[in-house]
Amino acid sequence: MRKLTVSLDHCTYPIYIGAGLLSQLPVYLDEVGIVPDRKLMVISDTQVAPLYGERILASLKQQGYQVDMAVVPAGESSKNLQQFEYLIGECLRFGLDRQSVILALGGGVVGDLAGFVAAAYMRGIPFVQIPTTLLAHDSSVGGKVGVNHALGKNVIGAFHQPAMVLYDVDTLKTLPTRELISGFAEVIKHGLIWDADFVQWLEKNSAELLALRPEKMIEAIYRGCEVKVAIVSQDERESGLRAILNYGHTIGHALEAVSGYIHYTHGEAIAIGMVGAARLSAKVLGTDESVVRKTKELLEAFQLPTQYDGERFPEDRLLLAMKRDKKVRNDEYAFVLTRKIGQVEVVRGIAEEEIRAALQELRK
């Protein structure tokens, strides 16, 4: 088991990463002061609840906790205000008060939704993140919670930090392969933006990671979270530095948007986006071509795509989607670009022709 501590101005919380941690949940809750006189509500989805929910409920009840579980349909479409309202109703029905605690058991969808319920219920109650996807090493840390609106992703939300993150890598064994691989894209991103040694380590360990070797997975998640923690603790509310976490996301989000959020998973889209950002960096900053090659090779070692279908998703549509990106100010394109492996920066005022040229090289 490994432990990381997140220290922010107003709070501190632990991230535990290990194998077999779920069965120890009551012990870890106790460690952060969540003792059996506090009511608990587990929030999960229809995929994860049958796999791990009942087990958790049983072990908590055995320790004397009063605990109930509310379940939403699996998938991104549950991250909305209807499910939010349903869950608030469940919390009221079970009689949660301001001392009660919500446990978010699932991937990023459950984490964001349950975290937002916790942020809003009685103006904010504590919550614990129990991530069960690899992507959730990203979403469970940092305190951004929220839901989607029909007109935009993640536009309704709050900053609400968890009281603890408990990451049991054993849960990843039941994760569909495509979801697992998608999660590696964010792990790789954390290396590419901040930690060249970690990138080297990922290159060396790709096969064992894809085979879910527990000690390697613990290390990968630990180091990925470490990067996120370092950045979030310097810029909790995204006034500057935190923007670098969007490396690969400008093209990635555009690909997700033009493909209607079905063709590419988020990880696949940002994998392509990171190669695009590296290519653009070579043009705009004169970054060495070896950075493009290394980025591509690493993503391919994790079976991630590095090119997009240019026939299906024309450049003009991608550029239009990019203009709607949150980072665009005064009609100017902004990108997170790389100088070298492990070092990135936000660059504004990038000419459209440069982006077009990078996109052309990115086509299949």
130 near ligand NAD, judged by CB under 6 A: no
* Cβ-count burial 7-24 (b if 16+ within 10 Å, e if not): eeeeeebbbbbbbebbeb
| 112 assigned binding-site residue | yes
Q: How many CB atoms lie within 10 A of CB 294?
A: 19
For the chain, what is the radius of gyration of the CA atoms? Answer: 20
Residue 126: HSE in the Cβ half-sphere, 13 Å Cα cutoff: 18
The CA-atom distances, in angstroms, between 212 and each of 165, 174, 186, 288 are 20, 11, 16, 33
From the list 44-52, 58-66, 190-198, 201-209, the region that binds ligand NAD by CB under 6 A is 44-52
Tokens 């699996």 correspond to what residue?
74
Q: Pick the catalytic residue from 76, 179, 203, 238.
A: 238
Give the one residue of 13, 71, 112, 195 binding ligand NAD; rule: CB under 6 A.
Answer: 112
| 249 assigned binding-site residue | yes
CA 268/CA 256 separation, integer angstroms:
9
Residue 192: HSE in the Cβ half-sphere, 13 Å Cα cutoff: 32
Report the amino acid identity of residue 65.
Y
Q: Is 10 part of the annotated catalytic residue set? A: no
Q: Is 268 part of the annotated catalytic residue set? A: no
Do the strands 2-7 and 164-168 form a parallel or antiparallel pair, or are they unpaired? Answer: unpaired
Q: Pick the catalytic residue from 10, 123, 330, 353.
A: 123
| 337 assigned binding-site residue | no
Closer residue to ligand NAD in complex, CB, 53/276: 53
Q: Is 266 part of the annotated catalytic residue set? A: yes
170 near ligand NAD, judged by CB under 6 A: no
Closer residue to ligand NAD in complex, CB, 225/292: 225
Give the one residue of 83, 100, 129, 171 binding ligand NAD; rule: CB under 6 A.
Answer: 171
Site string for ligand NAD, 175-214 (x = CB under 6 A): x---x-----------------------------------
User: What 3-state DSSP class applies to 236?
Assistant: coil
Tokens 């219920």 correspond to what residue?
121
Cβ at position 249, least distance to ligand NAD in Å: 10
What positions carry a catalytic annotation? 123, 144, 186, 228, 238, 242, 246, 249, 253, 266
Q: Which residues are annotated as a binding site for Zn(2+)?
A: 186, 249, 266
Interface contacts to ligand NAD, rule CB under 6 A: 45, 47-48, 51, 74-76, 79, 106-110, 112, 132-133, 135-136, 138-139, 142, 144, 154, 171, 174-175, 179
